[in-house]
Structure 1
Amino acid sequence: MSRKMLPLYAGLVATVSVMLWTPAGVAQAKPVYMDSSLPVAQRVDDLVGKMTLAEKVSQMQNHAVAIPRLDVPEYDWWSEGLHGIARSGYATVFPQAIGLAATWDIPLMHQVATTISTEARAKNAEALRHDNHSIYFGLDIWSPNINIFRDPRWGRGQETYGEDPFLTSRLGVAFVEGLQGDDPHYYKTIATPKHYVVHSGPESTRHTANIDVSPHDLEDTYLPAFRATVKEAKAGSVMCAYNAIDGEPACANTFLLSDMLRKTWGFKGYVTSDCGAIGDVAEGHKFAPDMEHAAAVSVKAGTDTSCGDEYASLTKAVKDGLISEAEIDQSVKRLFTARFELGLFDPAAKVAYARIPFSEDDSVAHRELARVVAEKSMVLLKNDGILPLKKDVKTIAVIGPNAAALAAIEGNYNAIPSHPILPLSGMEAKFAGRARILYAQGSPYVSELMVPVPRTLLHPAKGSAAFGLKGEYFDNIELTGKPMVTRVDQQVDFDWNAAAPVPEVKATEFGVRWTGTITPPVPGKYEFSFRRDAKGARVFLDGKQVTEEQAQGKKHSRRGEPFVLDLSDGQAHDLRIEYSHHASLFDAGLSLEWKPPVEAERAEAVKIAKQADIVVAFVGLSPNLEGEEMPVHVEGFDGGDRTEIELPAVQKEMLEAVAATGKPVVVVLMNGSALAVKWAKDNAAAVLEAWYPGEEGGAAIANTLAGDNNPAGRLPITFYAGTKELPPFDDYSMAKRTYRYFTGSTLWGFGYGLSYSKFKWNDVKLSAEKLTAGEPLTLDAEVENTGSAKGDAVSEIYLKAPASATAPIHSLVGFVRTPLDGHARQHVHVVIDPRSLSTVAADGKRSIEAGEYSIFVGGAQPDADEGGVTKQFTIVGSKALPR
């Protein structure tokens, strides 16, 4: 019997008691809810029926406390798995979600999500063996983020699958199904598509903004991916957003949660709030007079659990008559249904997923998959023939702030990589024995902010030619006794969140001492600081302490107070950094950052460019600049969002300076959102979009530049020509946005991507020249690799509907990625479902309308690929479709 069918049989099975025997021989009745042979609904009813009101309310917050008298263990609903199981120790780190989308590969997306859920299960089982019920170790995964990336300025767009509702829907369905597994009785994990709905910036107003979205845009753009993940993939959970829609906060919105999600789409799972969103119902949106009323109205609307403690007020709300205990029961039953369907109250012998060994976490096979996915996410935007790099290239200058920055491969909401391969390391490994690698940081991201201190400043001892500092790792916070491990760390840039830095120490108690020298690029006084666990760090210059350890009781900050090192003589100085981490499982790690001298940095880049045959410049953005509600307020960036989409000036000036040497420049972009890089398009020899590519990102980039990986990724977003092309950021209308409605200038369009091969499409046939409204349309074609290099063809299928006031220019309605040997052909068969042939009227009604249509199949949008083919067909009659 399917886990979805079990609740239907609740009333068909009589209540039973199973007799258990204690060691003393006294018979005890086994409660119904512990009998795994009974239907889930019956077990849930029995358990919730035994709870007091206070106990029920205690289960409606993200950290549900234990109820010892009922043998209910504590459980935390909050776990993250956007592109790897996050914040819970080492796990496989795949490319950031926007990079996953760039693969345009549905089966691969399913494989990634399956791997993530496998590691989640492995981590959960290991945690339970150690009685760890902490946040981030549960089985409810608050992913995927399927909001539409409508504007490139949104800092969290990196977490999404891009700007197109169809691409997002298909990838979202594959991801949800991969997370939830295929067992007929148990979830592997529970997926949580978020943030429902119309949520895509600005970050600065998300707690207060009300969005009066048009009925057309709601149905045409913002809802389709949520509908697909709920109706097709059967997502077990949904997260409601911070913002309000049409005057009602998303987490207290009866139309969205009750009418649309549950009644229209048939959603049976539970809804969780975004963190603090219930508080926003009262404080941000002023929709309720206080927290008690906010909690009551949110539960009534359909939000079952709060991320935070706001629902603690529900006990009083029931006593004050704001909500009934029966309404509380409904939410609690949904929550416990999820826990039972995860098998959390059943013997591990019955739940195959519970027996996944911990060795599956961060495994060699999963690491290999991360490399494959990163390679498939690479999007080649320009190539004048310089790529793949020729065998006669003997010296390569690697420059740029992203060449050796851990954050630039991690992205945000990231897992913790045990062996991260930074771009610089990837280049050195790939070209070892073939070409010499020279390195200079060359530039900060923006002139006002700090970047990780590059290895070129550091040496493990005076007179040493090696880069980095000697690192000694201790199993105590006093840094006493013999170090457990001694090694040379090229940079102090580490993420050890819930992880031990080396296997020989505990994640909750260790110390590290780094020693060596620091030499400035030019004499001066330099500003430094620490990122991540700054409170545990101390710095000594020439034996003198120059920082004070922050008090352990001080509110934790991811960035420490700036400090100055006087390097005015320009000489090498002894440097010692001591770091202690104690008690907390989370937030360990340290990154030493500095504010570099821009002119000196640029001069060093020019110097090595002159010595090289070619320059590879790693430029772009950082998840420390773009992301969720961040304290960043400098030119071009505001609170996690961007105010300008152009490449920051200091990086552009570095590119111009190295290009002036006459050496060819290959630009590698690393970012989570579109960049306006007109200079690179006009002047660089090649441009490769690498996103935030995950733990194997450095290897994937190097393999692509060397030609061992033939890039075939496609843009899931439009790369606009400049900020001036965009509507106001806080305007949620889709007019003049995304490839479907934008008519202005672009650098590279949605769906664009080059290869080291060429492809064309032949023998394109449609299943009907005249199609009755409501029937599917089938497209068959032969795709041919006309080049000699093995590569992947990405067949993109676009529909152009009859012109109307609301119809898009054209829309993606199908895609498939096909590997082909050189000069090989492959049959492509795509079924376009009736819903994809529909359009949405101004009133939000979706229908298939009569008229003349065209279908294009090729490797990009119709106006960007000469190898594609267009076919015409007619739809006869019309048909209204449900929401």
Structure 2
Amino acid sequence: MTAPTAPALPFRDPQLPLGKRIDDLLGRLTLDEKISFLHQFVPAVERLGIAAFRTGQEALHGVAWMGPATVFPQAVGLGATWNPELVRRVGDAVSKEVRAMRARDDRVGLNVWSPTVNLLRHPLWGRNEEGYSEDPKLTSAIATAYTHGLRGDHPVYWRTAPVLKHWLAHNNETRRDTTSSSVRPRVLHEYDLRAFRETVEAGAVAGVMPAYNLVNGRPNHVSPYLAGQLRTWTEEELLVCSDAGAPSNLVDSEHYFDTHEEATAAALRAGVDSFTDHGSDPARITARVKGAYDKGLLTEADIDTAVRRQLSVRFRLGEFDGWDEPGAFDTPDHRALAREAAEQAIVLLRNDGVLPLAPDTRIAVVGLLADECKLDWYSGTLLHRSTPLEGLYERFGAERVEFAEGVDRIRLRTSAGAFLRVPDAPDAPDEARGAEGALDPALLAGRTDLPPLTADATGSELALVDWGGDVLTLRAPDGRYLSVAEDGYVRASADQPGGWVVQETFRLEPHGNGHLLKHLGTGRPVCVAADGVKVAASDDDEPEVFTVVVSERGEDAVARVAARADVVVVVAGNDPHINGRETEDRTTLRLPAHQERLLRAARTANERTVLTLVSAYPYAVEASRCAAVLWTAHGGQAAGTALARVLAGDVSPAGRLPQTWYADDADLPDLLDYDVIGARQTYLYFEGRPLFPFGHGLSYTSFGYTDLEVRAGDDTLRVSFSVTNTGRVAADEVAQLYGRAADPSVPRPRRELLAHRRVTLAPGATKRLTFEVPLSALEFWDVAQNRWRLEPGPYELLAGASSEDVRLRTTVTPAGEPGAPRPVRERGLDAAAFDEQSGTEIVDRTRTAGDAVTPAADGTAELVYRACDFGTGVGEVRAEVAGEGTVEVSLDGGPALAVLTCDRRGGVYDYTAVTAAFSAEGVHDVRLRLRGPLRLAHVGFSG
């Protein structure tokens, strides 16, 4: 007789509603098991047949950190395509590679931490490469497409579960875990929240990751906006995963809480569901949660809420139904898509007719990135690679292309008269050799069995690459980078600079009659010892003083080949691991001096110079002195082939700038100024003349715009116009629609992207484009009423090829809702709800909720509140303040009518009410002057 089969547990029954399945599983877990689910590395629950789970798999532009994978252009390059459908296909390919890689390596996670939707408001941001655009509309369009691709197209199950990064108002890497972004309500709602909101509302987001920084004085990991905003945008359960180490930062670097139990409890209650801390060891996090629970800082219901959100994601991934979708890895389609994305990301910034290049053109290819295919921190390992030089060899023939890298060739002479020598690479096993038997430098990285550098009478000629900011790299004659391993010896053991702490960067510091060679990874100078060259182990070690002997200047080699060519292609830009990356902001928009010298040498030798910038961010360059200028982000495995095809005219460039390119550092606000309205940041508000505007990009053909038509509905504007290819080359055009309030009552954007579309047109072809624009797109956040409001018109609609290249315009006048004075007698004034300010910083009113305002560094500040209605009259003003100082109240720019003094010396959250006589009636502008280290939360009026 066959034994009866035990019935499946209800949580494994796919016919039950998802909520009931989660309830059933949650009810079967013990408290300790549920607590164990709160760490990034979730253990298996064998008694229930539940496997281990890990939140977090980096997949920003391909599967990262898990070995070979298809590498697509950087995120900012995907933003430059202005093509959501292409980006959706990239996300689809990445999610298939995640599934395929997981099938052979269970370390690969299905909860992917991408895309990054932080807005590129400041071009010196080190992580510029990770975002899509400075514009929230374009960012959300590209991010929504990528998340839909990552989610997959199954009606029930998700191929991967995307998590958006980094919530909220996060740009700077400088002191990123301790700086606070001061974000006024209008900037919060109209700018920072918007990119997240529109992506979440599109329905393919599994969660978000809070950022390291603070917003208005409060760490993002205890942000009230997680509950008050994020989780109101969707009925789906959203999983909030902490950034790495951020839970500990709440105590260790931010000092926001006194104990880790308090911090952990506060983060969990605020909405953090998975703690990424202390690597794969969950012991400290689980101990903190248990400690918080034992002290009554958490309830089991709080823990259940977080576990429920994680289980919701795991159910959607099909884990408990045995669902899995076969993946695809490095397919011909993925390789073709990588090339297509790289081609569409290239932006032609300037062209005086030198491009496209004729087939018989003799080309000099020069520059530090001319024979490079750079990877960034969030790249996978290249399966295929294509450099600009290789692409041009392939397209034009090696006989028509001449190369000069432009590096300085040097020898380093010791004080004893010897020279540094790089030993020959030792014999390597077959697996360390390429297809033709050549030693693969990538397989030498991190090895400590390689011989260190020595010194002898002849030494080795080294390639010195100056990346700017006194940062340089040194290469051996065979291309290996000098690197420092854990034992402190200097070896030629890396194929590229890389790693969380880069071990391949140095600095030459003047010292006496020579230079110290300082290793930047350790901060110590290089010594020459009997057993080899190494970094000083302590201050007692005698550093070597080197003389730099130059064999050849890079600009001389560039000038030589440039003079023999018909056209010079200078490939300049950045290494994504140096001078601008995660943990490091840039200090200038300028090209490094070494690269400017190479560009100048090329232009002097040959006026037909094409500057190709391959970079993770914008530069300020003298574009008018070049015959043509192109830009592309680091384009992944097909970057070189894509660039060659564009230069040759096989593909007409149609990428568009996703952010403003400023002409000078003086155009930029402070790196920590997050007030895009007050600081007039981004194309939305910038009033100067940019080097290249947002949305800019040229083509090898021309386009005409005609027949703009608008039909207004109750809630929507239906905007149509025609685009015609008026040239002789088939090409893509990116048609852009902007709007602006023509006569606003408050500062509004100069123009704001409402919609766009990338279309392909044959010569002479016309396409009619129609956009459905909700009237809500014209609203602004009314701080007086604390909500969105559509102000009555007029509004201009602008259609064209960039934010500044407007071809068609018309005006619409929606009825809207007239503004009203602030009813300050009834509601008073929330301090942060100002119309204008100077010298202020927004800070946290309490640790859990609310904003207050405090003077910035010099201790004085001013706030202006327009059109305040005092009704039939008031006789008293009351300020809710903490700290010491004064609040002066005046009307309409006049003298102070009341002075409120606070001298209470309690904590920053120890508020008190201070009153003074104050007489006003009718409608006036209120001006508050703050003096001293106080916090103002609210001002009320009565009697």
CA shift, 1:259, in A, is 1.3
Determine which of 559, 562, 571 is the counterpart of 1:618: 571
Corresponding position of 2:737: 797
Q: Is the 8 A contact 1:403 1:441 kept in 2?
A: yes
TM-score, length of structure 2 as denominator length: 0.73
Are residues 268 and 549 of structure 1, via their aligned partners in 2, closer, same or farther at CA, if it must alter by over 3 Å?
closer
* Alignment pair present for 1:251 and 2:221: yes
In structure 1, C-alpha distance between the alignment counterparts of 2:772 and 2:153, rounded to whole Å: 24
- Tell me the amino acid that sits aligned with residue 51 of structure 1: L
For residues 193-230 of structure 1, give each alpha carbon's deviation from its aligned partner in whole angstroms, at most 9, with x where no partner exists. Answer: 111111111x1221011222100110111011111111
Report deviation, 1:598.
9.6
Unaligned runs of 5+ in 2: 279-283, 411-420, 453-457, 466-471, 509-547, 820-943
CA distance in 1 between counterparts of 2:552 and 2:666 reads 29
The separation in 2 between residues aligned to 1:661 and 1:235, in whole angstroms, is: 53
Preserved CA contact (<8 Å) 2:11 2:21: yes
Alpha-carbon shift at residue 702 of structure 1 (Å) = 0.5
Which among 308, 311, 322 is matched to residue 336 of structure 1? 311
SS at match of 2:691: strand
Q: Tell me the CA shift for residue 762 of structure 1.
A: 1.2
Amino acid at match of 1:382: R
Residues 295-350 of structure 1 deviation map (CA, whole Å, 9 limit, x = unaligned): 11000000000111463210221112111122111111111111111011222xxx
2:640 counterpart letter in structure 1: G
Residues 271 and 302 in structure 1, CA contact (< 8 A), matched pair in contact too: yes
Match status 1:190 vs 2:161: yes
Q: Which structure 2 residues correspond to residues 601-680 of structure 1 after superposition, within 5 A?
A: 601-630=554-583, 640-677=584-621, 679=622
More strand by share: 2
Residue by residue over 1:82-141, the C-alpha shift from the partner in whole angstroms, topping out at 9 and shown as x without a partner, is: 1111111222111101110111112111111111111112222232xxxx3x2xx11111
Output one character per residue of 1:790-847: Cα deviation in whole Å (capped at 9) or x when no partner.
Answer: 0011110010113332211010101001100111111111111222222233456322
After superposition, the C-alpha distances for 1:209-264 in whole angstroms (9 at most, x for unaligned) are: 1222100110111011111111123411111111112232111112x111111236
Change in CA separation of 1:741 and 1:266 when aligned onto 2, cut-off 3 Å: farther
Alpha-carbon distance change, 303 to 556 in structure 1, aligned in 2, over 3 angstroms? closer
Work out whether 1:814 is the aligned partner of 2:785. no
Kept in 2: contact 1:296–1:323 (CA 8 A):
yes
Deviation at 1:513, TM superposition (A): 12
Cα distance between partner residues in 2 of 1:655 and 1:111:
37
Distance, in Å, in 2 between the alignment partners of 1:709 and 1:345 is: 47
Q: Which residue of 2 aligns with 1:112?
A: 90
Query: Which residue matches 1:174?
Result: 145
Q: Which residue in 2 is equivalent to 1:878?
A: 817
* 1:416 maps to 2:381: yes
Name the CA distance, whole Å, in 1 between partners of 2:579 and 2:345: 20
Q: Which residue of 1 aligns with 2:205?
A: 235
Question: Counting helix residues as a fraction of each chain, which structure ranks higher?
Answer: 1
The code of the aligned residue for 1:154 comes to: W
Report percent identity of matched pairs: 32
What amino acid maps onto 1:141 in structure 2?
V
- Which residue does the alignment assign to 1:311? 285
Instruction: Note if contact 2:790-2:817 (Cα within 8 Å) is conserved in structure 1.
Output: yes
3-state secondary structure, aligned to 1:624: coil
Match of residue 390 from structure 1: 358
Letter in 2 for 1:226: F
Q: Is the 2:200–2:233 Cα contact (8 Å) retained in structure 1?
A: no
Provide the secondary structure at the position in 2 that maps to 1:84. coil
Letter in 2 for 1:107: E
User: Are the aligned partners of 1:230 and 1:267 in contact in 2 as well (CA < 8 Å)?
Assistant: no
Relative to 1, partners in 2 of residues 1:787 and 1:526: Cα closer, same or farther, differing over 3 Å? closer
Task: Give the SS at the match of 1:37.
Answer: coil
Q: Offset at 1:444?
A: 7.8
Give the superposition deviation at 1:38: 2.8
Q: Deviations over 1:573-629 (max 9, x none)?
A: xxxxxxxxxxxxxxxxxxxxxx99596222111121122222111101221125544
Q: 3-state SS of the aligned residue for 1:213?
A: coil
Q: 1:279 aligns with which of 226, 229, 248?
A: 248
Q: What SS does structure 1 have at the residue aligned with 2:144?
A: helix
1:578 matched residue in structure 2:
none
Query: In structure 2, what is the Cα distance between the partners aligned to 1:485 and 1:753?
Result: 40
Cα distance, 1:519 vs. partner?
6.7
Contact conserved, 2:73 with 2:342, CA < 8 A, in 1?
Answer: yes
- 1:762 corresponds, among 706, 710, 718, to 706
> Which of residues 648, 653, 664 in structure 2 aligns to 1:711?
653
Where 1:331 maps in the other structure, the secondary structure is helix
User: TM-score, normalising length from structure 1?
Assistant: 0.78
How many angstroms apart in 2 are the aligned matches of 1:526 and 1:714?
32
Shift in CA distance, 526/778, structure 1 to aligned 2, threshold 3 Å? closer
Alpha-carbon distance change, 496 to 878 in structure 1, aligned in 2, over 3 angstroms: farther
Query: Which residue of structure 1 aligns with residue 627 of structure 2?
Result: 685
Q: Which residue does 1:34 correspond to in 2?
A: 12
Give SS of 1:876's match.
coil
Amino acid of the residue matched to residue 47 of structure 2?
R
- Superposition map of 1:103-142 within 5 A: 103-127=81-105, 132=106, 134=107, 137-142=108-113
Partners of 1:284 and 1:547 lie apart in 2 by: 35
Cα drift, residue 532 of structure 1: 11
Aligned residues of 2:463 and 2:474 also touching (Cα < 8 A): no
SS at structure 1 position matched to 2:554: helix
Closer/same/farther in 2, CA of residues 123 and 169 from structure 1, 3 Å limit: same
Shift of 1:731: 0.9
Paired letter, 2:176: R
CA-CA distance at 1:384 after TM superposition: 0.6
- The amino acid of 1:665's aligned partner reads T
TM-aligned CA distance change 1:277 to 1:803, over 3 Å? farther
The alpha-carbon distance between structure 1 residues 79 and 370, as it changes in their structure 2 partners (threshold 3 A), is same
What's the CA shift string for 1:369-428, capped at 9, x where partnerless? 1101111111000101000012331x3111111112232xx3341122201111211111
- Distance of 1:623 and 1:523 partners within structure 2: 18
Q: Distance in 2 between matches of 1:783 and 1:731?
A: 39
- Structure of greater Rg: 2
Q: Does 1:96 align with 2:74?
A: yes
1:406 to 373, 378, 396: 373
Deviation for aligned residue 1:512: 11
Asked whether the 8 Å contact 2:348–2:655 carries over to 1, the reply is yes
SS in 1 for 2:247: helix
Q: Given the alignment of the two structures, is residue 260 of structure 1 paired with residue 250 of structure 2, yes or no?
A: no
Residue from 669, 672, 686 that aligns with 1:727: 669
Give 1:668 deviation, angstroms: 0.4
- Gap change, CA 1:303 and 1:598, over 3 Å in 2: farther
**Which letter maps to 1:786?**
T
Cα distance change on mapping 1:126 and 1:521 into 2, 3 Å: closer
User: Amino acid of the residue matched to residue 810 of structure 2?
Assistant: K
Q: Which moved more, 1:398-407 or 1:750-759?
A: 398-407
Check 1:629–1:762 CA distance in 2 against 1; reply closer, same or farther (3 A cut).
closer
Contact 1:339 1:345 in 2 (8 A): yes
The aligned amino acid for 1:398 is: V
Identify the residue that residue 908 of structure 2 maps to in structure 1: none
Structure 2 CA distance for partners of 1:343 and 1:604, relative to 1, 3 Å: same
Name which of 313, 325, 333 aligns with 1:355.
Answer: 325
Q: Using the alignment, how far apart are the partners of 1:355 and 1:618 within structure 2?
A: 42
Residues 1:474 and 2:430 are matched in the alignment: yes
Contact 2:735–2:801 under 8 Å retained in 1: yes
Matched, 1:47 2:47: no
TM-superposed CA distance for 1:518, in Å, is: 10
Q: Structure 1 residues 518, 875: CA separation in 2 closer, same or farther (over 3 Å shift)? A: farther
Contact 1:149–1:157 (8 Å) recurs in 2: yes
For residue 754 of structure 1, give the secondary structure of its aligned residue in structure 2: coil
Output the CA distance in 1 between the equivalents of 2:241 and 2:652: 42
Q: Give yes or no for contact 1:761–1:869 (8 Å, CA) kept in 2.
A: yes
CA distance in 2, matches of 1:161, 1:49: 42
| Deviation, structure 1 residue 71 | 2.0
AA in 2 matched with 1:650: H
Mapped partners of 1:460, 1:753: distance in 2: 48
User: 1: CA distance between counterparts of 2:277 and 2:482?
Assistant: 23
Higher relative contact order (CA closer than 8 Å, sequence separation 6+): 1
Distance 1:701 1:172 in 2: 25
